[in-house]
Amino acid sequence: MTVLLAVLLCLVAATGGSGTAVGPPPPWGPVDPTLVGVLTPLHGTRTITGCSPEPGLCSVHLRAPDGPTAGTAVRLATQPGERFFGMGERFGSLDLNGQVLSNRAHDGMGHETGTSYSPTPFLLSSRGYGLQVGTSADLTVDLTTPGEITIDIAERGTVIDVLTGPGPAAVLARRAELTGLPPVPPDWGLGVWKSLIGGAGRGPGGHRPPPG
């Protein structure tokens, strides 16, 4: 499943997910796992606490300066054509460019609302890395400005794990190991699921009234 998702993301990166004509993305390739000059705090400090071997994992600690600042904000420099995916279950384009997204769990009730009832603070770049923000606080990702992404985190200190590898599958697998692998469901959980959601004939409690 991880490899299949990685292939899908590569196809979207190659063709464009929003239907808007865009240039080709930069090729997936080696990236400095510390993202020096790419991931920079808008205020405060950043500290690298160590990196592991391939597929890479570096932890960037961010700390807001002393004073009235209520949160932490970082700038992510981007390249022309670079595309981003992730941020949990969304009902719009897989290509997140041009959107402002919230990590607060909230039913968006439609497409391109910026919210999700199943969010996760993770971004995957078509350039060759992923970002996992280690926070449960409110978080906003602004992908509307050409050349940069702004991530606002509603806490004074946090850790961003930078994941690199030879391809998207390696990054996604490393993230799964980092955040925790789910248990294998029982056999009945892998069968056909049916749901009665929506439809003009839905009655009270989600049930359809009997015919006649």
User: Any idea what the CATH number is for the domain that residue 140 is in?
Assistant: 2.60.40.1760
Average pLDDT, the chain: 80
pLDDT surpasses 80 at 133: yes
In a domain, 3, yes or no: no
Is pLDDT at 131 greater than 50 in this prediction? yes
Question: Is the residue at 5 inside a domain?
Answer: no
**Residue 200 placed within a domain:** no
Q: Which residue has the higher pLDDT, 85 or 206?
A: 85
pLDDT digit string, tens, across residues 20-63: 545 666 688 888 888 988 999 988 889 987 788 666 889 999 88
Which pair of tokens denotes residue 156?
Answer: 């004074």
Q: What is the pLDDT of residues 149-187, one digit of tens each?
A: 999 999 988 999 999 988 899 999 999 998 898 888 888
Range of the domain at 90: 28-179
CA 129 to CA 142: how far, in whole Å? 18
125 burial class (0-12, 13-18, 19+ CB within 10 angstroms)? buried
Domain membership of residue 191 (yes or no) is no
Q: Is residue 202 part of a domain?
A: no
Is the preceding omega at residue 146 within 30 degrees of 0, hence cis?
no
Q: Is the predicted pLDDT of residue 7 greater than 50, yes or no?
A: no
pLDDT-derived band of residue 66, with 50, 70 and 90 as boundaries? confident
How many domains, in total, are found in the chain? 1
Q: How far apart are CA 211 and CA 36, in angstroms?
A: 65
* pLDDT over 70 at 212, yes or no: no
State the pLDDT at residue 3.
44
Task: Determine, yes or no, domain membership for 1.
Answer: no
Residue 163 lies inside a defined structural domain of this protein: yes
Mean pLDDT of 90-103: 89
Q: Is the residue at 136 inside a domain?
A: yes
